[in-house]
Amino acid sequence: MSPPAPGPPAKTLADGSPKRLSLIRKVFLLLLFCFAQFLESFSISALYPAIPPLEASTGITQSQSAWILSAFHLTFASFLMISGRISDIYDPKNTLIAGVSSLGILSICAGFVNNKIAILVLRAIMGIAAAMSIPSSLNLLVHVFPEPLEQARAIGVFGGCGAAGNVLGLLIGAVLVQYISYHWVFWFAAIIAIPLALACMFAIPPEMAKSKNRADPHIAKWKSLDLIGTFTLTAAFILFIYAVTSGPADGWATAGVLTPLIISIFLIPGFFYWETIVPADKAAIPPRTWFYNNFVVLFTSALSPFLWWGSVFIVFTTLWQDVFHWTIISTAVHMLPVGVAAILASCTGSLSRRFSPKWIILTGYSMTAVANVLCAVGGGRPEDYWRYIFPAFILGSAGASLTYAHTSIAIFQAAPASMAGTVGAIFNGALQLGSAIGIAALTAIQTSVEATHGGPQAYYGRAAAFWFLLGVAVIEILSLSYFYQRATDYEPQPTSDDRDVVKAPDETSNEIDEVKKDAATVKELKGLAV
């Protein structure tokens, strides 16, 4: 009797242990990761309608109230790298649970606070908690969906939930502020976060929480974190983002802006120099990372999607409420096409198996370029919404979502799965960095044009902002067209960090000899059978 045919090979997790995951469980895990992404976006956009009642309740000034949003952005972007590294060195499951649960507990506390200093401190710590959840979610997602096509679809949906969180957060926040109170904006986030943390605790396979440092378990894991490099880069991000967000309001020539800007400019090259000194397996960002196929051009491509979405929110929410005198709920409803288009475009992950990411990303940039032209030439009157702004929202948001989804798909396919947390941190850091720098430049352009062309009541400054965004899109199109390599070839994800290891000649010849011996043995057996 012949032995039974072997079954399909068991899928393996990051630590190499076999584990079968059913389709239902995979979908449920993807839903959990998407809720983590949604929660991060919601925590930012839902506070836009809550700013006026927060100012009245806490006594915070209008200029200080901007830091209710900026404090979250600042710490979130700055702590992405260290959280991504912790996710890789320790484990992504517990990192995700810690981040989501902390965000929920802090949100409960923020709902009871009426002091301006306390609310700013809580928002800054909430940014750190959110920074722990996003790279770890991406790390887990890559390992739950190791097959390239499934992974591409999952990453696309994950990105779409971030865009949906931006729009739905604005709408939900408006409803809560209008009909209940601004406190419920924080408590609503907690209602999502606490059950999400509990679900992650029980649903994520326990194998994903095992130690990644299997080579020598006696070595302290913190020694692999590269604390000097990580804190150098974190300090550089904090100072740089603080400077570019404070510059438009405080003035670029002030000491409070120039000092952190100059220090950060020196810290960033210092970090990269340090990374060439420490061992590659202990570096915060191993230097080889930047030499993965198309990694640098994909990092550059990630600078723009959040910039477009953030610019649209800032420009049109202020225009519609301050100039057109629309209610916050009406403003949120008119923003819905942005979220709908982003969600639909995020479901195109399977296209990455048919077309090169280069052409998909270029299509996305082209769509945002057309949207920028529509926003620049129209939008200054309420009746322009359906003629110019609605189609611009559809084209621009779909284009930004294509760029976001397929840049993230390509960048995770370029790097090994063992670095998923670090790559997720780099990718999200690029999103935040591009948004911070771009919006600071956009605000400066808009303000300078408004100073000589009718003030904030006129549309000239906002039109100039969208012409600036068009220039950014054109630069990205040109750079991607020239620098992106292997435009039509799909390159599978590497299975280890050392992709460029070449076998020694004697090893190769030994393997050839073994193959020849096996072939001869098979030939002899066939002869005996005859």
Look at residues 416, 410, 415, 376 and name the one whose alpha carbon lies nearest to residue 396: 376
Helix 92-112 vs helix 183-203: crossing angle, to nearest 10: 160
pLDDT in tens, 475-530: 999 999 988 886 434 444 444 444 333 333 443 344 444 434 444 443 444 444 43
Tokens of 193: 């976060």
pLDDT band at 232 (very low <50, low <70, confident <90, very high): confident
Q: Are 451 and 360 in contact (CB under 8 A)?
A: no
DSSP state, residue 284: S
Separation of alpha carbons 122 and 105, rounded Å: 10
Separation of alpha carbons 122 and 377, rounded Å: 41
Separation of alpha carbons 498 and 214, rounded Å: 17
- Residue 524: CB atoms within 10 A of its CB come to 10
For position 31, what pLDDT does the model report? Answer: 93
DSSP state, residue 386: I
For position 195, what pLDDT does the model report? Answer: 94
The stretch 189-196 carries a mean pLDDT of 94
Separation of alpha carbons 259 and 238, rounded Å: 13
pLDDT in tens, 322-337: 889 888 889 889 988 9
For position 475, what pLDDT does the model report? Answer: 93
Who has greater pLDDT, 229 or 199?
199
Q: For the chain, what is the total number of helices (H) and then of strands (E)? A: 18, 0
For position 390, what pLDDT does the model report? Answer: 95
Find residue 18's DSSP bridge partners.
Answer: 12
pLDDT band at 67 (very low <50, low <70, confident <90, very high): confident
Separation of alpha carbons 306 and 402, rounded Å: 12
Separation of alpha carbons 260 and 268, rounded Å: 12
Handedness of CA 401, 402, 404, 408 (dihedral sign): positive
pLDDT band at 293 (very low <50, low <70, confident <90, very high): confident
Q: Is 61 helix (H, G, I), strand (E, B) or coil?
A: coil
Separation of alpha carbons 81 and 414, rounded Å: 18
Find residue 12's DSSP bridge partners.
Answer: 18
| Distance spanning both ends of the chain, measured CA to CA | 21
> Among 101-105, 301-305, 322-326, 334-338, which range has the highest average pLDDT?
101-105
pTM of the model: 0.76
Q: Are 54 and 64 in contact (CB under 8 A)?
A: no
Contacts of 334 by beta carbon, 8 Å cutoff, 6+ apart:
316, 320, 326, 385, 389
Q: Is 395 helix (H, G, I), strand (E, B) or coil?
A: helix
> Among 39-48, 262-271, 369-378, which range has the highest average pLDDT?
369-378
CA angle 356, 362, 364 (to 5 degrees): 110
Helix 390-414 vs helix 148-179: crossing angle, to nearest 10: 140
DSSP for 307-346?
HHHHHHHHHHHHIIIIIS---HHHHHHHHHHHHHHHHHHH
Within 13 Å, how many C-alpha atoms sit on residue 147's CB side?
9
Separation of alpha carbons 119 and 50, rounded Å: 13
Query: Does the pLDDT of residue 463 top 90, yes or no?
Result: yes
Query: Does the pLDDT of residue 102 top 90, yes or no?
Result: yes
Q: Are 286 and 497 in contact (CB under 8 A)?
A: yes
